[in-house]
Amino acid sequence: MTTKPFASSADTAAKTETLEELADGVWALTAEGDPNVGAVEGEDFLVAFEARATPVAARNWLRKLREHTDKPVRYLVISHYHAVRVLGASAFEADAIIAHQNTRTLIAERGQQDWDSEYARMPRLFDEPDSIPGLTWPTLTFSDRMSIDLGGARGELVLQYCGRGHTEGDIVAWLPQPKVLFAGDLVEAQAALYTGDAFHYDWATGTLDTVRSLRAEALVGGRGAVARGRSEVDAAVEQTRGFLNGMREHVGAVHEAGGTLKEAFDRTHAALAPQYGAWPIFEHCLPFNTQRLWDELTGIERPRIWTAERDHEVWDALQG
């Protein structure tokens, strides 16, 4: 058996990006499994959703958006603290950077370690890493819900916390009028889940129930294509839940039986690979996912901090 390259370090092929207008002034840029971004037009301003890994990568997205609108970015919303979603923030020159209050806490607590970890795991996403001016600090935070009046007849954009999930501070952006949902990494569409900082039980139950209860007609997940229509939206939510429940079942069974972390990884890999193995970042994510779920089952409430060193220890023990 050949050794697998670490995480996504060998994934160097650029992806094709697709910009779609999902409703009047509601934009989504998807990229074949790379992190998605979006933007919503107000009457005379923009709300951007997610910031990409570097300012240079963010400016490449803004250049595409600027072919359609020149409104200034008043708000940049970041769905959670992960580096590939936040470190490009300076490119937007937004008046305010909005996040959940737990996201701000996580950036203070582990933002630098996460930056180092994600850069080593997914170097291709860090387009000109020297363009990053430092950690991204949210300037406006909330705990449950906040609404942005888009002006005119555009209605409101609702930012909502749905419970612990992919991290302890994920928020979604919801447009009740056109029923479009930007779900961040709480939902993936035919891309593997990263659960290395997750709360598997909460995410698979109440959090996804809340996401589904919005009854979106279009859903932009963290990665993968836009889900269009209720059946595709529900399928994306349930496929996310299915991945989580598959991990809970198989890691849980080995833990319950007194087995080892490596046995849990091997069993879970064998069980999930037929359905999910060909999806983006499956091999990358599964060791970190298994380690976090194992920790949860051992009673470690909050995710341990991933560092570049710990990443390699876990990788070598499980995928090496």
Q: How far is the CB of 88 from Zn ion (least distance, A)?
A: 14
Cα–Cα distance measured from residue 30 to residue 19, given in angstroms and rounded to the nearest whole number: 7
How distant is the alpha carbon of residue 126 from its chain centre? 16
By CB under 5 A, name the one of 82, 104, 212, 292 that touches Zn ion: 82
**What is the closest distance, in whole angstroms, from the C-beta atom of residue 185 to Zn ion in the complex?**
4
CB of 230 to Zn ion, least distance (A): 25
Q: Candidates 37-45, 75-83, 124-132, 151-159: pick the segment binding Zn ion (CB under 5 A).
A: 75-83
State which residue, 52 or 255, has the beta carbon closest to Zn ion: 52
What does the alpha-carbon distance between residue 219 and residue 212 come to, in Å, rounded to a whole number? 10
Closest to Zn ion by CB, 191 vs 254, is 191
Nearer to Zn ion by Cβ, of 81 and 294: the residue is: 81
For the chain, how many helices (H) and strands (E)? 9, 13
For residue 49, give both structure tokens.
């959703």
Q: Least Å distance between CB 82 and Zn ion?
A: 4
| Residue 280: Cβ-neighbour burial (10 angstroms; 0-12, 13-18, 19+) | buried
CB atoms within 10 A of CB 152: 9
Q: With CB under 5 A, what is the number of residues at the site for Zn ion?
A: 2
Q: Closest separation between CB of residue 292 and Zn ion, Å?
A: 13
Window of 76-84, 110-118, 198-206, 293-301 that interacts with Zn ion by CB under 5 A = 76-84
Q: Judging by DSSP bridges, how do beta strands 180-184 and 171-175 pair with one another?
A: antiparallel
C-beta of 166: minimal distance to Zn ion in Å? 6
Residue nearest to Zn ion (CB): 82
Closer CB to Zn ion, residue 185 or residue 296?
Answer: 185
Q: Give the residue with the Cβ less far from Zn ion, 82 or 250.
A: 82
Could you tell me where the DSSP H helices lie in the chain? 55-65, 83-86, 101-121, 200-202, 208-213, 230-256, 261-276, 282-297, 308-318
Q: Which is nearer to Zn ion, 11 or 185 (CB)?
A: 185
For residue 7, the minimal CB distance to Zn ion (Å) is 14
Rounded to whole angstroms, the Cα distance separating 271 from 255 reads 16
How big is the CA angle at 259 (ends 258 and 263), to the nearest 5 degrees? 160
Residues 163-222 that bind Zn ion (CB under 5 A): 185
C-beta of 41 vs 115, nearer to Zn ion: 115
Stretch of 78-86, 238-246, 257-265, 309-317 lying at the interface with Zn ion (CB under 5 A)? 78-86
Please give the Cα distance from 228 to 206 (Å, whole number): 23
CB 17 within 8 A of CB 10: no
In angstroms, the Cα distances linking 197 to 105, 273, 283 are 14, 21, 17
- The site for Zn ion (CB under 5 A) is made up of 82, 185
